[in-house]
Structure 1
Amino acid sequence: MDIVLIGGLWLDGSAWDDVVPELTALGHRPVPVTLPGQGDGAASATLDDQLAAVLAAVDAAAGKPLVVGHSAASTLAWMAVDARPEKVGKVALVGGFPTPYGRAYADHFPIEDGTVPFPGWAVFEGPDAADLDEQARERFVAAAVAVPETVARGVVRLTDERRFDVPVVVVCPEFSPAEAEEWVAGGESPELARVAHLEYVDLDSGHWPMVTRPRELARVLAKAAGS
């Protein structure tokens, strides 16, 4: 199966470099997406531009792909499902939940000179970054791409209720499946609360398992693709 991989804030397509060979070895065709404004050299981009890049990958895929969204890009993956409910076979959300209709895509970090730079590790201390050693943190910061304000403040639009019929796997890295299920049941993710086929999968890692647990993440995604 083709597996479309979308990294979260500050990540370009190379974030999946250690996951790609693992997925390939498991018999799948990984398709990492470098989002406009996040590694393609463009000075600016909009949320619509990023969605268009994801949809291009979905449309070019063989059959019905698994679309994987990490962190904030869980919303991009969900927007792609909304735009192509008949084309996407399944969606996997890694460490993130879809932003509801009418809300800003990712406006919870400071904006500086029209972009959202990586804010430093202080805001991620604890379970998010506990498995990143100093060397890994340095590599992450060196590769981080400031996200255009026009992406972060872009408004999420969802129009096709057929999205709720597409199966969803919530991959739980720095939180547990029980916690995620409780959050959804408590109304913290109104989109996921309406999904007909929803599954929670544990992954013992921090917020960036493609960096710290690429083999384990690949196995989880391969299992999701094959089920």
Structure 2
Amino acid sequence: MTHFVLVAGAWLGAWAWDEVAPALREAGHGVDALTLSGLAEKRRTPAGQQTHVRDVVGHVERHDLRDVVLVGHSYSGVPVGQAAERIGDRLRRVVFVDSSVPVDGQSFLDAFPSDHIREALPAHGGDWPPLPADDYAGQDLTDEQIHRIVGEGTPHPGATLTEPAVLGRPLGELPATYVKCLLDGPEPPPAVAALVREGRWELAEMDTGHWPMFSQPRQLARVLETAAKG
């Protein structure tokens, strides 16, 4: 049985998958939604990026999961991509949902213009504060969904953003699908686009914004199922 491990991006916890997980279970899959250290109900747990990698690897190994599809959304693509190569033959596939991807020796913040985030960290106790509601406009979200994301989101531990990724092999060796949410931009990151052109990764597109687990949860579940088949 395919087992999905769902990991949401910055500020979010396992609760972000509340509408995706049931759809996958209805289709007969095993599903775990994972909250990373320092977020949501684990907010008081200190965390760096490698803590988040260990969160994912530890969960898979502790529960002896097999035929695993790791799903990383947004920020979480960075630790999930590293965890994918560390769980060995337990991995079926990794799915990056409109996410960053790990680059050996680089941090999450190295991947795009991020001076505003770096400047915000000291002013907020070393954490990245959740975005204001206005920043979710144009992303196919209802007012109620935006209210939930903003209201339940927690500050994201800054060390996870500045600590470099550690990869033991080229990223393209992972069996992977990248899901691009088109309202957040038409193109995946350059490194991903190159792997897709080379035929090493598959590309799926969704006509929605950056938070498809809220805006189109059942459609996302179907995309994840398709991706799992490779």
TM-score tier by shorter-chain length is 0.7 to 0.9
- What is the TM-score normalised by the length of structure 1? 0.85
Whether the 8 Å CA contact 1:165–1:196 is kept in 2: the answer is: no
Aligned equivalent of 2:95, options 86, 92, 108 = 92
The RMSD of aligned alpha carbons is: 2.5
Q: Which residue in 1 is equivalent to 2:181?
A: 173
| Residue segments in structure 2 that go unaligned for 5+ positions in a row | none
2:129 is equivalent to residue 117 of structure 1: yes
C-alpha displacement of 1:121: 4.1
Q: Which residue in 1 is equivalent to 2:203?
A: 200
2:63 is equivalent to residue 55 of structure 1: no
C-alpha displacement of 1:198: 0.8
- What is the TM-score normalised by the length of structure 2? 0.84
In the TM superposition, what are the counterparts of 1:18-167 in structure 2 within 5 Å? 18-39=19-40, 40-59=42-61, 60-106=63-109, 108=114, 109=117, 110-111=120-121, 112-126=124-138, 129=139, 131-161=140-170, 163-167=171-175
| Residue segments in structure 1 that go unaligned for 5+ positions in a row | none
Whether the 8 Å CA contact 2:43–2:154 is kept in 1: the answer is: no
More helix by share: 2
- Secondary structure of 2:72's aligned partner: strand
Whether the 8 Å CA contact 1:101–1:158 is kept in 2: the answer is: yes
Whether the 8 Å CA contact 1:90–1:168 is kept in 2: the answer is: yes
Distance 1:31 1:143 in 2: 20
Whether the 8 Å CA contact 2:69–2:228 is kept in 1: the answer is: yes
For 2:131, give the aligned amino acid.
Answer: P
- Alpha-carbon distance change, 96 to 63 in structure 1, aligned in 2, over 3 angstroms: same
For 1:47, give the aligned amino acid.
Answer: Q
Distance 1:201 1:177 in 2: 14
Distance 1:176 1:152 in 2: 20
For 1:51, give the aligned amino acid.
Answer: V
Distance 2:166 2:43 in 1: 26
For 1:224, give the aligned amino acid.
Answer: A
Whether the 8 Å CA contact 1:2–1:61 is kept in 2: the answer is: no
Distance 1:195 1:75 in 2: 21
Whether the 8 Å CA contact 1:164–1:194 is kept in 2: the answer is: no
Identity of counterpart residues, as a percentage? 27
Q: How many residues align?
A: 218
